[in-house]
Amino acid sequence: MSILKGGLIFVSLIFAVHAAPSEDLITSLPGLKSLPAFKQYSGYLDASPTKHFHYWFTESQRDPSSDPVVLWLNGGPGCSSLDGLLSENGPIHVNNDGNTLYMNPYAWNKLANVIYMESPAGVGYSYDDHNHVRTNDTAVAKHNYAALQHFFKKFPEYAKNEFYVTGESYGGIYIPTLAYEIIKGKQFNFKAFAVGNGLGSYRDNDDSLVFFAYFHGLFGETLKNNLVQSCCKGSFTRESCSFHNAETNACSNCVQEVFTLVYRSGLNEYALYLDCEGSNSRSIAYRFTMDNLFRNLETGRRAQVFSQKMLSSQPRLGEDPPCTNSTALRTWLGKPEVREALHIPKGLPGWDICSKAVSMSYVRVYQDVTPVYKKILANSDVRILIYNGDTDMACNFLGDQWFVSDLGLAEVHARKPWYVKSQVAGFAREFKRLRYTTIRGAGHMVPQWAPEYSYSMFEKFLKDEPFTR
């Protein structure tokens, strides 16, 4: 072999090792006049021999080679992470017309390389070769980990970068279980994970919602006194009351009344103080989220609440979830030219924000992920951030505060406000290796409804900076 030929082979091998997959490169996006300077990729990651997860990867706008790599997961279970990209913290958002796009000034990829992965199979444009979409918490964690391994094979140039996992809602289950798989695998430069408005404990989420509703003025003394009499041991406190496990019909009736007020009275259950937009395409996402509440209520009672008409005299503003609107996402992502730009196989069905098939067959292994957190804290030096928009009633801040307190960690800084541009952004409490903060005025989707505060929080998270001093 000549020196010249050997040198060319060596150079080509180096190029192959360090080159991102050209077949996944996004070269155009319908609705955007010109692509931004940073690169984006869309394609598939193998989660198993038959399961293929669609991903959309946005390189950092700053320094891709040295900036962290961050995974983002939406919840459900069964909802698409493209919602996070296109309406929350991604660099490109869809306008309400469903045809045009605009740049997000608070995109998280201004600080990091961000992977948006549609998980599990059956969600969005992810699929299983045999259409087997029944799954569970444990399987999803293992499949997400396998998909990440494939990502770093596709993008070996990022294998040594710091790695973070983030997400929201049912991500409260997805993320810590995935984090523990990563810790056991010891393959990534894993630094920390963040959970926003997450479901960590069904009991905490249910019990705290009743207190949240009362102290936000959603019901009065009559219902409160009935709850105390039927569900509590003499006083309206966390220690005295059990709403999650309603042990009598009287208690169950009172809890159902609270559930009905939250779900069907016309409030924006994702963001208490925001009005409803209304539309027709995202009721399924809302339904999935609300299905995480009061699962111990008798099935017929839950079905009655979910099916009944509005309790007020005003008509419901369409079928969309509480006052959010994702018609534009479905419209844009369903366009043939968009599917082609994202390298979506032609045989796949249309995109939807959530999958009924996945959700209806999903097996919930964890009722409380406290043991998972304790294993993570005992077996690694991984940092944790838990945050809540403080007006959300799907996964409310009080339940997550209880969850954090019950971990029994040593407190480093007591609860104090923190600021963005001299305004209170939230209230943070800091422990060794774990930080908890509220985001003032935000609802369930913090990056969507408090983008500047969310961006500042994300920057502190990556830099391991305290919220309070």
How far does the chain reach from its first CA to its final CA, in angstroms? 64
Lowest model confidence (mean pLDDT) among 17-31, 57-71, 267-281:
267-281
Tens of pLDDT, residue by residue over 105-122, are 999 999 999 999 999 999
Of 352, 392, 454, 456, catalytic: 392
> Between residues 10 and 194, which one has the greater pLDDT?
194
Of 54, 93, 143, 444, catalytic: 444
208 is catalytic: no
126 is catalytic: no
Using 50, 70 and 90 to split pLDDT, how confident is the model at 308? very low
Give the global pTM: 0.90
Mean pLDDT in residue range 206-231:
96
Superfamily the domain 22-201+327-469 falls into: Alpha/Beta hydrolase fold, catalytic domain (3.40.50.1820)
Tens of pLDDT, residue by residue over 10-49, are 333 333 445 688 999 999 999 999 999 999 999 999 999 9
How far is it, in rounded angstroms, from Cα 272 to Cα 260? Answer: 15
Give the pLDDT of residue 265: 80
> Between residues 247 and 54, which one has the greater pLDDT?
54
Residue 193: CB partners within 8 Å, gap ≥ 6? 164, 165, 166, 175, 176, 179, 382, 383, 384, 385
> What ranges do the domains of the chain cover?
22-201+327-469, 202-326
244 is catalytic: no
Mean pLDDT in residue range 311-330:
51
* Tokens coding 129: 């070769």
Does residue 103 register a pLDDT over 60?
Answer: yes
Does residue 64 register a pLDDT over 50?
Answer: yes
Using 50, 70 and 90 to split pLDDT, how confident is the model at 247? confident
DSSP string, 178-227: HHHHHHHHT-SEEEEEEEES---BHHHHHHHHHHHHHHTTSS-HHHHHHH
Tens of pLDDT, residue by residue over 356-369, are 999 999 999 999 99
Length reported for the chain = 469
Mean pLDDT in residue range 172-185:
98
**Residue recorded with tokens 């800091």:** 430
Residue 431: CB partners within 8 Å, gap ≥ 6? 404, 407, 409, 410, 411, 412
How far is it, in rounded angstroms, from Cα 243 to Cα 204? Answer: 10
**Do residues 393 and 262 make contact, with C-beta atoms less than 8 angstroms apart?**
yes
